[in-house]
Amino acid sequence: MRTVKSVKNPVWADVDHTTINLTVLFEELETTYGEVPFTATADAPEDITKELYANALKGEYGDIADYAPIVLSADELAARARVWRDQQVLDNQWLVERHRDQLATADTTTLTSDQFKALLTYRQGLRDWPQAKGFPAESSRPVKPEWLPVADVA
């Protein structure tokens, strides 16, 4: 078990007030790490975590600051949207390759011509999306064809 030397900066880590973030100085870690971030909950398996949580609730480390959700900047939202977009293109690349391979070998295609055209249109919409009005809002995302397999990572 670790020896707690000091605890400060209690902040609710969630809107439901079930988790508290703290800054803790453990004697065993002091020379190597100094103060470390620590998350405490009432139902944690470790006794030290439960103890720190209970003490924080009692106000032993000061008032617990309100939960403040992380607000992403416009650049961060755009970067996340591009990651999602890039993954969507990768998720259906195999369909494009299979269709083109089937055409090249004169095999029967799995996709109809209309499906393939819809797939290519969707993929182009994904590429154009960062320049579209409303980007990076989810509501402005290109609409995936209904028949396209689901491999959606938000």
pLDDT tier at 153, thresholds 50, 70, 90 = very low
Give the confidence band of 1 by pLDDT, cuts at 50, 70, 90: confident
Whether the per-residue pLDDT at 7 is higher than 90: the answer is: yes
- Angle CA(92)–CA(87)–CA(127) in degrees, nearest 5? 80
Distance CA 93, CA 91 (A): 6
Question: Given this model, what pLDDT does residue 2 score?
Answer: 86
Q: Which residues of 135-152 are buried (b: 16+ CB within 10 A; e: fewer)?
A: bbeeeebbebeeebeeee
* Residues 58-73: tens digit of each pLDDT: 999 999 999 988 889 9
Over residues 114-141, mean pLDDT:
97
Residue 150's pLDDT is 63
Domain boundaries, the chain: 4-57, 74-140
Mean pLDDT of 135-147: 95
Q: Are 67 and 11 in contact (CB under 8 A)?
A: yes
149: confidence class by pLDDT, cuts 50, 70, 90: confident
**What whole-number distance in Å separates Cα of residue 74 and Cα of residue 16?**
27
Is it true that the peptide bond before 130 is cis, omega within 30 degrees of 0? no
Residue 151's pLDDT band (boundaries 50, 70, 90)? low
pLDDT at 154: 42
**What is the pTM (predicted TM-score) of this model?**
0.57
Mean pLDDT (whole number) for 28-53: 93
